Structure 1
């Protein structure tokens, strides 16, 4: 039996690969299931690949059976390493809108990271910052969960989240930490319509104590009795859309 294929930098799924092609990411190889060669759902993807001079390699079931990714939809792209942004790109101002950056404090579930990236891109956030250790980086699962959004928002890696918070404060950003504790203010009672970095804590553990202390304020989502907290990506989505609401209403 052949060993499973294990590519370091992979994008899988129709939409994620389409978005990567459209954003100009460097695709080294494109593998498509041979039984989907004439599938209308792949017409746009294959056309985009041909425009870039990339010929799809049509593979049999054995090829895809050896992959560790199950929700591939018969489409796998091998790419160059993910192009992380620097902090200047993340903090690049946009005319007429205050900054909104999301800091992820050691989230390890790539599905959560991908979902947060997707939501942040949808609401027009300036960028995402995540640690380079003890955290999910932008891997194949993150790209799939983000449904291609990793190609549309700057994502930076840093060595230390607490130090990054200090640097952001010097650049004039307010730091809001998502927290379900009694010391946090309800999201409707805080001003999110300003240059802001929203910090999302790790699954289960929440914000690290040093990170929480360095926040300018803690913000929580009002919860009905009997429900302790929300999943990290759901909480991030609720808070990001509250920030968007406040910004639209002025």
Structure 2
């Protein structure tokens, strides 16, 4: 009967017994190859490509004088309330300057505590004349926070990151939006609805200032903002990649809820509330759409308009 044979040395188990060793001949094969290198050092990895692009941007970025001397585009946040709120809201910062012999009130104590908790902010004590010089005579109230220049992405990096994640790009481009709070609100909406970034022109446009960081409620740390030397050329490059460029305009030929293009790779272009899209930018768009407003309002704030269109895109993609 199977499994009950009386033959000698018959194997009744699949388990291997003791085996003869190699005598140390396989030592080298068993040796480890060291720790796994970080993603940014692995050839072809998306993080290595991002690191290389950041290095190229750093070499190409022009420098200018900042308040207080030195090179770069650092921003200064001055005043007890603004400094405290910037630290509380996670605005990136390099150095907190504190006036010597300052009155230690609640806001000062709070700012010092937040800076200490962050651990990466240098605390510097300076005499009042030095702070006056740094701020060009602004009412700093004894607190000055230095915010480093924002590391902008390149427009093609936004679409590349989406494709690397095997996702259809969902990008917002801004034309003539000059209020940093609008930019921060749009970054927040892009993050909320699964977008891949925001493109802003290099001139006559809001940048990622401390105010934009605050309005983004920390989402600017996760959603990149790219800066285009020429917005029209950046949009044309997107079109060559197969991305549909959709302009938001009050006189658009279609309504946003009827736009099937939102389901695929798309760049949504939003103009200022007053002037709308510029002529060249409007002509570059594949299609222009409008948001229906049965209440009769003439226009919407750029941040509100972006949130509506991004919600519709996220709904269709889901």
Specify the TM-score bucket, using the shorter chain as the normaliser. Answer: 0.7 to 0.9
Q: Show the counterpart of 2:257.
A: 188
SS in 2 for 1:204: coil
- Contact (CA 8 Å) 1:110, 1:136: kept in 2 or not? yes
Greater Cα offset, 150-159 or 26-35? 26-35
**TM-score, normalised by the number of residues in structure 2:** 0.62
- In 1, distance between residues paired with 2:189 and 2:298? 23
Q: CA deviation at 1:13?
A: 5.8
Q: Show the counterpart of 1:99.
A: 169
Q: Show the counterpart of 2:219.
A: 149
Q: CA deviation at 1:208?
A: 0.9
- Contact (CA 8 Å) 1:176, 1:217: kept in 2 or not? yes
Q: CA deviation at 1:18?
A: 5.2
RMSD between aligned alpha carbons?
A: 3.3
When residues 16 and 88 of structure 1 are mapped into structure 2, their CA distance, relative to the original with a 3 A threshold, is: farther
- In 1, distance between residues paired with 2:104 and 2:254? 55
Q: CA deviation at 1:112?
A: 1.5
**TM-score, normalised by the number of residues in structure 1:** 0.77
Structure 2: 5+ residue stretches without partners: 1-66, 69-73
- Contact (CA 8 Å) 2:98, 2:123: kept in 1 or not? no
Aligned: 1:27 with 2:94: yes
Q: CA deviation at 1:96?
A: 4.5
- In 2, distance between residues paired with 1:56 and 1:174? 50
List per-residue Cα deviations over 1:139-164 (Å, max 9, x = no partner).
Answer: 22222222333222111111211111
Q: Show the counterpart of 1:9.
A: 75
Q: CA deviation at 1:55?
A: 4.3
- In 2, distance between residues paired with 1:196 and 1:132? 21
Superposed, which structure 2 residues align to 1:191-210 within 5 Å?
Answer: 191=260, 192-210=262-280
Please point out which of 238, 241, 247 is paired with 2:311: 241
Q: Show the counterpart of 1:49.
A: 118
Structure 1: 5+ residue stretches without partners: 1-5, 69-73
Number of aligned residue pairs:
230
When residues 59 and 34 of structure 1 are mapped into structure 2, their CA distance, relative to the original with a 3 A threshold, is: farther
- Contact (CA 8 Å) 1:102, 1:200: kept in 2 or not? yes
- In 1, distance between residues paired with 2:214 and 2:126? 21
Superposed, which structure 2 residues align to 1:96-245 within 5 Å?
Answer: 96-181=166-251, 183-191=252-260, 192-245=262-315
List per-residue Cα deviations over 1:34-61 (Å, max 9, x = no partner).
Answer: 433665x986x445423x364487999x
Q: CA deviation at 1:199?
A: 0.3
- Contact (CA 8 Å) 1:46, 1:56: kept in 2 or not? no
List per-residue Cα deviations over 1:109-146 (Å, max 9, x = no partner).
Answer: 22212211221122221111101111122222222222
Q: Show the counterpart of 1:3.
A: none
Which of the pair has more CA radius of gyration?
2
- Contact (CA 8 Å) 1:117, 1:128: kept in 2 or not? yes
Greater Cα offset, 135-144 or 206-215? 135-144
**RCO greater where, 1 or 2, for CA within 8 Å and sep 6 or more?**
1
Greater Cα offset, 217-226 or 163-172? 217-226
Q: Show the counterpart of 1:71.
A: none
